[in-house]
Amino acid sequence: MILLFLSSNTPFITNMRHNKDITIYDIARELNISAATVSRGLKNNPVISEETRIRIQELAALKGYRPNTVARNLRRQKTNAIGMIVPRLDSYFIATVLAGIETVISPAGFHLIITQSFESVQKEITNTIAMFNSRVDALIVSLAADTTDISHFEPFWSKGIPVFFFDRVCDKDYCQKFVIDNYEAAYALTSHMISQGCRKIIHIAGNTTKNVYYDRMNGYKNALTDHGIKVKPSYILVNNLSLQAGIVAAEKILALKPLPDGVFVANDLCAACCMQMFKEKGLRIPEDIAVAGFNNDPVSRLVEPRLTTVNYPGELMGKLVATCLIDKLNGKSPADFSPLQIIKSELLIRGSTSRI
């Protein structure tokens, strides 16, 4: 009962239902049966007659009964929740990984709790603590741009809670990691551009403290060296690969004398932005300057000419991560399972680099 005063001298009394959760004891009392019978009826236990099961389930639905899965799972030392920390959710690649993970964990009876680090290690640490306190059964992580120390995951390992890294991974041998061969993919792409007559190739890299961009840069550099082309440090531009970064990078490239004849960008969004800037300045793609990206984002198929890129199979990666994780949680991991899983990528040659 709540007393509300609508004026200085007129009290108004109203009865309000308490927002108390309905329990099996409430249902049992109303149906004049035991709580154990209600519990069995809600689980469709065959020892309960069909008539009783129907009465129990209809009343439970009418009353808005919800099973207390949190309490039950904590008794079992499981929450059936898998935590996930990603740099950003507005990434096509991350979205495809999530789709792959969801197709596996949902049928297995697990659900995802997803957070973003926004490329900040401090936010990543905060999210890690929150996941640990939420008692997730496992954690899936793609590291933030400025993460160099992974000690914030130690509480998980000390409790035997699996932590799986994908895409942006740590350099520890004991960590479970899922990647593509970024070095080999970048080497193949750069070699393709050289085969098309490019000799002055710029590389626009992301944060090279991260394995992803470091490996792509090294693949580019070694491809040049192996083809007898000197690596020029001034031809390597490092930025955050955003649209704005693409504009700035394109302006720097356009100011170079002589003009480079190729640009390999470590993602498609920045590559598409550069390509548009070049076209606005009257350059022909690929005749005057060839452009290639990485990831096979939708933008790579929307620009004209279509962008040469590397297909990064995010959905396949997500499925593999989730399958291996569920197997581990269920005690099914094979003894010889490698801590480093490399997913095959594919070079997609399109019009933006096809000069011959």
Give the position of tokens 């990078």. 249
Strands 81-86 vs 111-116: parallel, antiparallel or unpaired: parallel
pLDDT tens digits for range 192-227: 999 999 999 999 999 999 999 999 999 999 999 999
Statement: residue 75 has pLDDT above 60: no
Model confidence at 289, pLDDT cuts 50, 70, 90, reads: very high
Statement: residue 340 has pLDDT above 90: yes
Percent of the chain with pLDDT over 90: 79
Instruction: Name the pTM for this structure.
Output: 0.80
286: its two tokens: 């690929």
pLDDT tens digits for range 40-72: 998 888 889 999 999 999 998 888 887 765 555
3-state SS of the chain: helix, strand, coil percent to 5?
40, 15, 40
Q: What is the mean pLDDT of residues 217-239?
A: 98
The pLDDT value given to residue 294: 98
Per the rule left: phi > 0, alpha: psi between -120 and 50, beta: everything else, 282 is: left
Per the rule left: phi > 0, alpha: psi between -120 and 50, beta: everything else, 316 is: alpha
Model confidence at 14, pLDDT cuts 50, 70, 90, reads: very low
Model confidence at 6, pLDDT cuts 50, 70, 90, reads: very low
How distant, in Å, are the alpha carbons of 78, 106, 132, 172 from that of 322? 17, 10, 19, 21
Statement: residue 263 has pLDDT above 60: yes
The pLDDT value given to residue 258: 95
Alpha helices in 142-226 (DSSP H): 154-158, 182-195, 211-226
Model confidence at 333, pLDDT cuts 50, 70, 90, reads: confident
108: its two tokens: 């297995």
Model confidence at 76, pLDDT cuts 50, 70, 90, reads: low
Average pLDDT, the chain: 90
Distance of CA 198 to the CA centre of its chain: 34
Of 292, 265, 246, 321, the C-alpha closest to 96 is 321
Statement: residue 15 has pLDDT above 90: no
Model confidence at 18, pLDDT cuts 50, 70, 90, reads: very low
Percent of the chain with pLDDT over 70: 91
The pLDDT value given to residue 68: 66
The pLDDT value given to residue 220: 98
Domains along the sequence of the chain with CATH: 2-67 (1.10.260.40), 79-180+314-343 (3.40.50.2300), 182-312 (3.40.50.2300)
CB atoms within 10 A of CB 90: 8
Q: What is the mean pLDDT of residues 296-318?
A: 97
Q: What is the mean pLDDT of residues 153-167?
A: 95
The pLDDT value given to residue 248: 97
The pLDDT value given to residue 19: 55
The pLDDT value given to residue 316: 97
DSSP code, position 77: T
Bridge partners (DSSP) of residue 310 are 347
The pLDDT value given to residue 65: 81
Q: What is the mean pLDDT of residues 174-193?
A: 97
